[in-house]
Amino acid sequence: MGFGAGGYRGIESKGPEPGTPIAFGSPMYISNAYTVLAGATGLVAVAMHGALWLGVRGPEAARERAASLAHRFWWAVVGATCALAAFTLASRPQLVERFAAAPWGCAFPVIGLSGLLGVFLCKAPETTALAFLSSWGFLIGVGATAAFGVYSQLLPAGGRTEGGLTLAWWMPIVFVAASYAVFTYSRFAGKLQTER
């Protein structure tokens, strides 16, 4: 799921250059280097988030190990995020123009970086819940940064402005995904127990 979501975010941010004769859905379109990097970034970010969740909600025996694993994933998330940011800025200089035109949008990468820093700072076992919330902040900040950067066409349709995924379609999708996450996490209220 993380690899797929990250790959989708990679398509959303990068998309094909205008005039590229690659058809949507072709293997070349889906598996370019940028999309694979975005997918790998999403995978390690969701793995870190899941490990932190187990650190908060898991059985006593697994909590410490899961939190420790999450902090090892943190380094992979930092490396992958830095590589993805460098690749994005090199291949899409218009993103810098977008943030320059609307400086308030710089709040989104700040939220993402603050969340990532929060995960790093909350290493103590008693602060695992704060690390988990910080991880949410990172995921939300990165997603909002990508969406803001390519607004008003969130998913360009082959470099054309018509036929792309616009905000009118994006917001219901985000609402459904957020509702699913809230529902799923609320179903696991309380600590998980191991069967004896």
Give the pLDDT of the chain (196 residues) as one tens digit per residue: 444 444 444 444 444 454 454 444 454 555 578 888 888 999 999 999 989 988 888 787 788 888 889 989 999 999 999 999 998 888 777 888 888 888 998 999 999 999 999 999 988 888 888 999 999 999 999 988 888 887 765 555 555 555 555 566 667 777 887 788 778 777 766 665 666 5
| Residue 31 to residue 9: CA distance in whole angstroms | 13
**Position 36: which residue type?**
V
* Euclidean distance between CA atoms 180 and 173, whole angstroms: 11
What type of residue is 136? W
Domain ranges of the chain: 2-187
- As a whole number of Å, the end-to-end CA separation of the chain is 31
**Is 5 in a helix, a strand, or coil?**
helix
pLDDT at residue 167 in the model: 60
CB atoms within 10 A of CB 111: 17
pLDDT at 138: 95
- Overall size of the chain counted in residues: 196
DSSP 19: T
**Token pair listed for 39:** 């997918």
Contact 14, 7 (CB under 8 A): no
List beta partners, residue 157.
160
**DSSP element (H, E) containing 48:** helix 33-57
3-state secondary structure 110-161: HHHHHHHHHHHHCCCHHHHHHHHHHHHHHHHHHHHHHHHHCCCEEEEECCEE
Contact 138, 120 (CB under 8 A): no
The one-letter amino acid at 57? R
Q: Residue 153 pairs with which residues in a beta bridge?
A: 166
Residue 8 confidence (pLDDT): 45
